[in-house]
Structure 1
């Protein structure tokens, strides 16, 4: 089977320089056909530069960008089977919804018949649930509706790849959640590849088939969302995706004991002996009220803050000799929540500790 048969997008040793600045450094990656992929990372990590190289708005300094197996270096944006939804939508304010959506079709050469343009425009509006809004002016619509107009305009040309540059950033939280569900449904219905750029971890984890974590111009890990969260490849990924508690220490000979800086010992699943940083997710910790037990996997401390999150309760607990740790307790398990100033006992399973070389 050829690469073109299984991948919509490929980067082969792609780098991008802006003067002395190396924005993207030697990336090799393949995006499967029909996948929903989220590019996730801090500001300046290179994710938007990658998106713009796929769209043709930037050209790689080195390497090759391929779409459906065809090299795209030097090919202008309008000749690529790609459309892009920008963060601020870039709609034409002087045109109504129908004219905005059909604009790309009307620029095609050879020309498409008017009847076909009208038919495809209507179909695109129905897909984004704006069937009755064809004659509405853009400025008369809400942020969520404008976002759907931008989506309709992008999909009406039937691209092989749809690029989304933080399209939900301007929406409020409730509307953003609703649009996340709509984007997932739309992607499944169309069956085309979606590539989403975001710095929002929750958005990336909840929407995508694959999360591609970037840092300093490189791809650190690309995997399904659950794998990225549960089995991060590096300490950076563990820290960036989700909340973490850090513990520094040394894995002793035998590989099943982590000796912390204060001399305390914690059990770990077999590791290579040496200096390490261990990461513990807040939700992997069990909080019990009362003094610390003598168990090896238990830590005693004092609650300093309690934060109500609706479906959960988050505690900040000062651990004797180690500093502060975050603990997230499910609402059903926290009907009698601990109070600030109260002594508590924290415990966890050894497999919950994610261990990385120091």
Structure 2
């Protein structure tokens, strides 16, 4: 019997071992009903293992997994209210689009009437904007269209949870961006829980309403995308999610000021987290402005300029601190404002934009 849980997924002290290797260690996680959550982290962090335990392809070594309030330990994949979209889509090349989407419905017991299968199949194809493609062969479809067929096949059974295993990795950048929007719209329309596994920070931040950052088999931070980016809980999160500059520094004993390795001192930032003594500072590239005259916090030489269309990235060799990455929004610049490689410039930023962590 399904419980009245408000969480579609729960991990309770879950550990997964493969022999002597611990892939996931003591994970506690709750995913609210109808959420779009991204499991984000580098290769080997345990995110795919967590996804496979939700799907029933792996069982926990310790702890318990719940879906909709029901314990899932020992429940096989085909009996869980879950469907999965794989990275390579796993479509049947000998079946047309309609047959691929209807395949899961035809396997259900008790059997579903053919007219109901046809209705639900067409409904799923319309949801992913593939109405009229039902008789197309798989090899006649583009990569994005194949992705949509895989999505339609996954949602046609009306699962409680949809699992997405890096589903956009094979698409080019423009199509990947379009599919990110499509997935967001589809999730809102269906109202079911989506769990996305990705190592792409842009995907996680742009698509999900809850980001779970993982490292070495553990959750290191979980929260809304803006919180993860603006208030990283550790230097690892600051480094992994987006781009950041790392600066060696010291918080003075009275905690009133911060001193960089090149001797420059600034007021202590509000995000010092009680750190005193040796520290590492994380500073986002877009928090830094380039100036040519007047007082500047730091001085340096532009070594590279990378034109990115809507923005410009600079690599600046800062006196006594090494290379800095600086991002300038072109909407606030004209061509004459662009700094040239070899030019000496100043860098300014609000001290409160710095995140400080113990060294």
TM-score class, shorter-chain normalisation, is over 0.9
Structure 2 equivalent of residue 340 of structure 1 = 341
Is the contact made by 2:3 and 2:70 (CA closer than 8 Å) also made in structure 1? no
Structure 1 equivalent of residue 9 of structure 2 = 9
Q: Deviations over 1:191-213 (max 9, x none)?
A: 00000000100010000000100
Is the contact made by 2:7 and 2:32 (CA closer than 8 Å) also made in structure 1? yes
Structure 1 equivalent of residue 307 of structure 2 = 308
SS of equivalent residue, structure 2 residue 246: strand
Structure 2 equivalent of residue 352 of structure 1 = 353
For 1:320 and 1:23, the matched residues in 2 are separated by 43
After superposition, the CA RMSD in angstroms is 1.2
Is the contact made by 2:212 and 2:223 (CA closer than 8 Å) also made in structure 1? yes
Is the contact made by 2:128 and 2:152 (CA closer than 8 Å) also made in structure 1? yes
SS of equivalent residue, structure 1 residue 112: coil
The Cα of 1:262 is off from its aligned counterpart by 2.4
- 5+ unaligned residues in a row in structure 2: which ranges? none
- 5+ unaligned residues in a row in structure 1: which ranges? none
For 1:256 and 1:303, the matched residues in 2 are separated by 32
Structure 1 equivalent of residue 47 of structure 2 = 47
What is the aligned residue count? 353
Aligned counterparts, 1:176-255, within 5 A:
176-255=176-255
Alignment partner of 1:289 is 2:289: no
For 1:4 and 1:264, the matched residues in 2 are separated by 58
TM-score by length of 2: 0.96
For 2:6 and 2:281, the matched residues in 1 are separated by 38
TM-score by length of 1: 0.97
Is the contact made by 1:268 and 1:353 (CA closer than 8 Å) also made in structure 2? no
Is the contact made by 1:256 and 1:269 (CA closer than 8 Å) also made in structure 2? no
Q: Deviations over 1:93-134 (max 9, x none)?
A: 000101100000000001001111000000000000001001
Runs of 4+ aligned residues of structure 1 deviating over 6 Å after TM superposition are none
Aligned counterparts, 1:1-358, within 5 A:
4-270=4-270, 271=272, 272=274, 273-290=276-293, 293=295, 298-335=297-334, 336-358=337-359
The Cα of 1:3 is off from its aligned counterpart by 8.2
For 1:68 and 1:339, the matched residues in 2 are separated by 57
SS of equivalent residue, structure 1 residue 44: coil
For 1:93 and 1:241, the matched residues in 2 are separated by 37
